[in-house]
Structure 1
Amino acid sequence: MPTRINLAADLGEGFGAYTMGDDAAMLEVVSSANVACGFHAGDPRIMNRTVRRCVENGVDIGAHPGFPDLAGFGRRAIDCTPDEVYTDVLYQLGALAAFVRANGARLTHLSPHGKLGNLTRKRSDYADAVASAVADFDPALRIVTREGGLTDAAQKRGLACGFSGFADRAYGDDGELVPRHVPGAVIHDRDQVIARAIRMVTEKVVRTVSGKDVPVRCDTILLHGDTAGAVELARGVRRAFDDAGIAVEGLGSR
């Protein structure tokens, strides 16, 4: 049986007249989409359009909730209470689910965005809040994120998990993502991104900024839709997977 991988992208991250990336082209390549829910990016028109395009392309639809931080694109830490995290995530799930239902589809997963996602790896109260929101909204949803505090909290509640590897982001020796303000934190070189994606899938390791290989658990390779040249990166990764006999399919079909 061939190796399988979910190829995902964060999409729907424009706002009003402002666009971020080429979602239509990305949706011809990926098997799942994490759709912004209006807090860090996205609005009702963009959410509806993105969901409709997911349905047209047979792409799994996931919620991509973040902090209420349009100005900072959800990449700034906001000091929230666990109840605020819980209710904000629940609110965003409900918003996206309305558009998913209206388009005759189903929501398959949740993948937290940016700083919220990073903090759920380290703060058990945030991890518990996000996992509780998913469990209370729909325990059939899968939580897709990097292995850590949130996946632990999800599994304690009996929720299914998917594990993400970030092919276009640099890792430190501690297994954490290099902060975006550090030069080289976002990887634009096509061959390097492809090589990293293949190794994550076949060897379960990623090369860090110091040249060390560290383990990474992943059944999902994530590419950021707002990365420069994102579509060509995604196409290159998809072709490399096809050439290597790695089947690309959404987690919702498993």
Structure 2
Amino acid sequence: MYIWRLHTLRLALEDEGLMGVLGELMSKLTELRELCLGFCTLTGHLRKLLSPLNTPLQCIELANCSLNAVDMAYFANSLHSEHIVKLDLSGHEVADLFPITFRKLLHRCCATLTSVGLEECGLDDDKLDLLTQALRPCHRLQELKILGNPLSTAALHNLFNMLALGFPALRYIELPVPRDCYPEGVTYPLDESTLINYDREKFQQARTELTGILEREGKGHIEVCTPLFGAYDPDINETSNELGVSMLHSFSSVIGNFIDTVSVTQQREQQSNEQ
């Protein structure tokens, strides 16, 4: 299985042809299943990039990619949508930008989806219904990551009640610090100095109440944590919140490595056929 990472790529309208080229190159990797595009600006380009692929992706990271309604409409109706195992849409205000297609996407992949990342998606108490409706049929869900959303303790109670009564495979939840643990008037997304300026005692009380909901339903084994500065990724030697700061590879080296991989794959296929 191939995994391809591309970070901090910025595209303009005139770069649409480039997306088509990348899509065609990726289509030659018939074992490509995982695509990491975090912090690439892909507004309006997602169809060009993904439509050439004949094999559905199983894992896709689209965090902070500035997707628009057109991108999500394509993605929710694409061949990939019914095969997604791991999905990251962090950094997109899904309830404001594309609520209907967001819900449709999760419903279409509900039979396979095990992990959802929705960090800093502007999900507040008024938008909790969208999240619960979207998640409800996803019975194979194992991980839910919702850090950085302005949800109150009361709203999180409602969410945890739903999670406790279903979702038999759930094993891991990244819990945001409840909005009411911060001083009044804070604005989201939170900057680094505000992020750590919360009432620890109040947060611990809220966390105890939420984990208690799980325990009462026999789900005390679910890990609930709040990694405020992101999860460390040993593969790329940085935290998820730092991905936008440094480019993993220059764009030219990405293309070069990609073409080399395609060439090696084709050579192996030819050798196999000759044998």
Please say whether Structure 1 and Structure 2 have the same fold, judged by a TM-score greater than 0.5: no
Instruction: Pick 1 or 2: higher relative contact order, CA cutoff 8 A, min separation 6.
Output: 1
TM-score scaled by structure 2? 0.36
TM-score of the aligned structures, taking structure 1 as reference length: 0.38
Answer 1 or 2: which has greater helix percent: 2
Q: Which is greater in Rg?
A: 2
Higher strand fraction: Structure 1 or Structure 2? 1
